[in-house]
């Protein structure tokens, strides 16, 4: 990957990571504005040495570079210097930084202001000055430098963490705003041995975590070949990984009914649930972030409920698909169970074809056998101690009310059925509630064979003012 013809501004390029980015881009043909205030790691002093040294290194290696000693707080001057020297600007690497680590209790206003000014304000000012030029040229690459301290928090770095997350927010919006103009904005959270880290990391680590490892990613993100924008990467010590937001499955309360602190506490598991990959989401923009909220608004007002039944959750719930296999033995036992051919040599010998599978009239299946595959689903759940979401009652409250079983054609003497089960109706009968569950059983060819509807009377569970 080459950068011939490109002009890069690298802030804070007199040391550490910035120096390494500048050297790599210059070695690959970019003309580089090496900016560095030349101050101390904690924001004091200034000198021309840091930038000059790096410019000399680049020139010695046959590259092209110009030094600039402005503070990133004067972003416009840095961009002007690049335009004066090279006539254009293609790449902006916001890297300059200082530390003022101190616990929050002891943090002075100055510690806070200075760190925000250099990191957040500096990244804004340099990028803001470069932005119109990138747009006019029809594109460009911007790199922002955040930190794991911002992403995860770190003791003694409240100012730095706030500034670094501010930078990430800035980058995310610029990625959206730059899209039309082919301006790509990406953010790195690096780790490298430098004068900023040598006071906190062991010597071996400082030596091992070479800035060059970080610069390889930065250069790729700055190359026309890379189409990424709005991305965040952790990088350093040989590790390269994208970082994204992950949102838990979450809990949705339908609108229009009271949402109490107790209800939120009760839903804590769902609010924090990252366990099911298909229910976890990774929003990339505001529309993605708003999606579940919009769905909830479109779903309309709550249908109510109480501590036994949450109609919003339960109504329409589809149970996991279940299979049920039976053969002649089950069919014959069922028939015997309900009294078929109880008198096999006497009056009821005409019922033998229900219980004898090689009967000369053929083997008949009692149509009411069709109730079994439907019941099976519910019994399996009851045995497993499971219930549908929103059905917060035990079997002790349940009375089997009405039952309908529809058999679409004569049942075969053996089959492997797939049953789909859904809660189709819920009624508030005042004192009690009715929960109506429908099961649809399909044969091996997918043909619907049996439809069951069970009405469960849930004693003492009504009274929420529902339909």
End-to-end CA distance of the chain: 68
Give least dist CB 428 to ligand NAI, A: 58
Minimum CB separation from ligand NAI for residue 235, in Å?
10
Question: What sign results for the dihedral spanned by CA atoms 364, 366, 369, 370?
Answer: positive
38 binds ligand NAI (CB under 6 A): yes
Q: Work out whether 192 is an interface residue with ligand NAI (CB under 6 A).
A: yes
Which of 57, 43, 62 minimizes the C-alpha distance to 10? 57
**Residue among 100 and 303 whose Cβ is closer to ligand NAI:** 100
Contact 418, 442 (CB under 8 A): yes
Q: Using the rule CB under 6 A, is 441 a contact of ligand NAI? A: no
Token couple for 181: 């103009």
- What is the spatial distance between Cα 347 and Cα 325, in angstroms, rounded to a whole number? 33
Q: Does 197 bind ligand NAI (CB under 6 A)?
A: yes
Q: Contact between 37 and ligand NAI (CB under 6 A)? A: yes
Spatial neighbors of 397 by CB under 8 A, at least 6 apart, are 308, 458, 459, 460, 461
Using CA atoms, how far apart are residues 344 and 355, in angstroms rounded to an integer?
A: 10
Within a 10 A sphere around the Cβ of 212, how many other Cβ atoms? 12
Stretch of 81-89, 190-198, 338-346, 369-377 lying at the interface with ligand NAI (CB under 6 A): 190-198
* C-beta neighbour count of 57 within 10 angstroms: 16
97 or 466: whose CB is closer to ligand NAI? 97
Q: Is 186 in the site for ligand NAI (CB under 6 A)?
A: no
Tell me which stretch binds ligand NAI (CB under 6 A): 8-16, 106-114, 296-304, 312-320.
Answer: 8-16
71 binds ligand NAI (CB under 6 A): yes
Quick one: which of 7, 50, 231, 309 contacts ligand NAI (CB under 6 A)? Answer: 50
The verdict on whether 160 is a catalytic residue reads: yes
Residue from the set 63, 97, 230, 370 that interacts with ligand NAI by CB under 6 A = 97
Q: Segment near ligand NAI (CB under 6 A), from 59-67, 93-101, 316-324, 388-396?
A: 93-101
Query: Of the candidates 190, 304, 305, 373, which one interacts with ligand NAI according to CB under 6 A?
Result: 190
166 counts as binding ligand NAI under rule CB under 6 A: no
DSSP letters, 130-158, are HHHHHHHHT-EEEEEE--HHHHH--TT-H
Instruction: Decide if 37 contacts 98 (C-beta within 8 A).
Output: no
Asked if 229 interacts with ligand NAI (CB under 6 A), we say: no
> Does 215 contact ligand NAI by CB under 6 A?
no
Instruction: Pick the piece of the chain touching ligand NAI (CB under 6 A) from 186-194, 310-318, 319-327, 350-358.
Output: 186-194
Beta carbon nearer to ligand NAI, 218 or 388: 218
Q: Are 76 and 44 in contact (CB under 8 A)?
A: no
Q: How far is the CB of 384 from ligand NAI (least distance, A)?
A: 50
Nearest approach, Cβ of residue 97 and ligand NAI (Å): 3
* Of positions 22, 81, 118, 411, contacts ligand NAI by CB under 6 A: 118
| Residues in 120-139 that interact with ligand NAI by CB under 6 A | 122
Question: Could you say which of 2, 59, 195, 329 contacts ligand NAI (CB under 6 A)?
Answer: 195
Of the listed pieces 68-76, 83-91, 179-187, 358-366, which binds ligand NAI according to CB under 6 A?
68-76
Residue 398 parent element (H or E): strand 398-407
Q: For the stretch 168-179, what's the b/e string if a residue is b when 16 or more beta carbons lie within 10 angstroms of its beta carbon? A: bebbbebbeebe
Q: Does 12 bind ligand NAI (CB under 6 A)?
A: yes
By CB under 6 A, is residue 311 in contact with ligand NAI? no
Number of other residues whose CB lies within 10 A of the CB of residue 397: 15
Compute how many residues bind ligand NAI; rule: CB under 6 A. 32
Active-site annotation holder among 69, 160, 213, 326: 160
DSSP-based helix, strand, coil % in the chain, nearest 5: 40, 20, 40
Instruction: Indicate whether 405 belongs to the interface with ligand NAI (CB under 6 A).
Output: no
Q: How far apart are CA 409 and CA 370, in angstroms?
A: 11
CB nearer to ligand NAI: pick between 164 and 254: 164
| Smallest gap from residue 49 Cβ to ligand NAI (A) | 10
List CB contacts of 215: < 8 A, sequence separation 6 or more: 17, 20, 21, 23, 24
What region does 449 belong to: left with phi over 0, alpha with psi -120 to 50, or beta? alpha
Answer yes or no whether residue 390 interacts with ligand NAI by CB under 6 A. Answer: no
Closest-CA residue to 373 (of 417, 436, 315): 417
428 beta partners: 433
462 touches 433 (CB < 8 A) = yes
Given the rule CB under 6 A, which of 38-46, 295-303, 368-376, 448-456 is the region that contacts ligand NAI? Answer: 38-46
DSSP label of 408: S
Smaller CB distance to ligand NAI: residue 41 or 381? 41
Residues with a catalytic annotation lie at 160
By CB under 6 A, name the binding residues for ligand NAI: 11-12, 14-18, 35-39, 41, 50, 71-73, 95-98, 118, 122, 145, 147, 190-192, 194-197
């Amino acid at each position: 990957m080459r950068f011939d013809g490109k002009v890069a501004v690298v802030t804070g390029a007199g040391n550490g990571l910035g120096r390494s980015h500048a050297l790599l881009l210059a070695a690959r043909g970019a003309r580089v504005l090496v900016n560095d205030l030349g101050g101390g790691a904690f924001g004091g002093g200034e000198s021309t040495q840091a930038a000059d040294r790096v410019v000399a290194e680049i020139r010695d290696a046959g590259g092209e570079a110009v030094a600039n000693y402005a503070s990133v707080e004067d972003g416009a001057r840095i961009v002007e210097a690049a335009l004066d020297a090279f006539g254009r600007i293609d790449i902006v690497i916001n890297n300059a930084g200082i530390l003022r680590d101190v616990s929050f209790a002891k943090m002075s206003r100055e510690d806070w202001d200075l760190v925000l000014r250099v990191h957040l304000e500096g990244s804004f000012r340099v990028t803001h000055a470069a932005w119109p030029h990138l747009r006019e040229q029809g594109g460009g690459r911007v790199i922002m430098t955040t930190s794991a301290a911002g992403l995860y928090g770190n003791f003694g770095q409240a100012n730095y963490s706030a500034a670094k997350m501010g930078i990430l927010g800035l980058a995310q919006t610029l990625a959206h705003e730059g899209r039309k103009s082919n301006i790509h904005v990406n953010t790195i959270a690096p780790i490298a041995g430098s004068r900023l880290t040598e006071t906190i990391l062991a010597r071996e680590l400082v030596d091992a975590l070479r800035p060059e490892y970080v610069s390889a990613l930065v250069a790729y993100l700055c190359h026309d070949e890379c189409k990424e924008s709005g991305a965040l990467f952790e990088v350093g010590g040989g590790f390269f990984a994208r970082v994204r937001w992950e949102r838990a499955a979450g809990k949705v309360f339908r609108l229009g009914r009271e949402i109490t602190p107790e209800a939120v506490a009760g839903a804590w598991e769902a609010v924090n649930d990252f366990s099911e990959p298909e229910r976890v989401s990774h929003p990339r923009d505001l529309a993605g972030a708003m999606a579940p909220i919009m769905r909830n608004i479109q779903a309309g007002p709550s249908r109510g409920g109480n501590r036994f039944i949450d109609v919003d959750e339960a109504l329409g719930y589809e149970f996991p698909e279940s299979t049920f296999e039976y053969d002649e033995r089950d069919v014959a036992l069922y028939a015997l169970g309900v009294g078929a051919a109880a008198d096999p040599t006497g009056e009821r010998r005409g019922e033998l074809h229900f219980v004898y599978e090689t009967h000369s009239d053929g083997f008949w299946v009692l149509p009411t056998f069709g109730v079994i595959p439907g019941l099976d689903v519910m019994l399996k759940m009851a045995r497993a101690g499971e219930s549908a979401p929103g059905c917060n009652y035990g079997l002790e409250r349940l009375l089997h009310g009405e039952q309908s079983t529809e058999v679409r054609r004569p049942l075969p003497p053996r089959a492997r059925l797939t049953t789909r089960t859904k809660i189709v109706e819920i009624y508030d009968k005042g004192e009690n509630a009715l929960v109506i569950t429908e099961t649809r059983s399909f044969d091996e060819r997918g043909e619907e064979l049996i439809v069951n509807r069970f009405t469960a009377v849930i004693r003492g569970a009504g009274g929420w003012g529902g339909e």
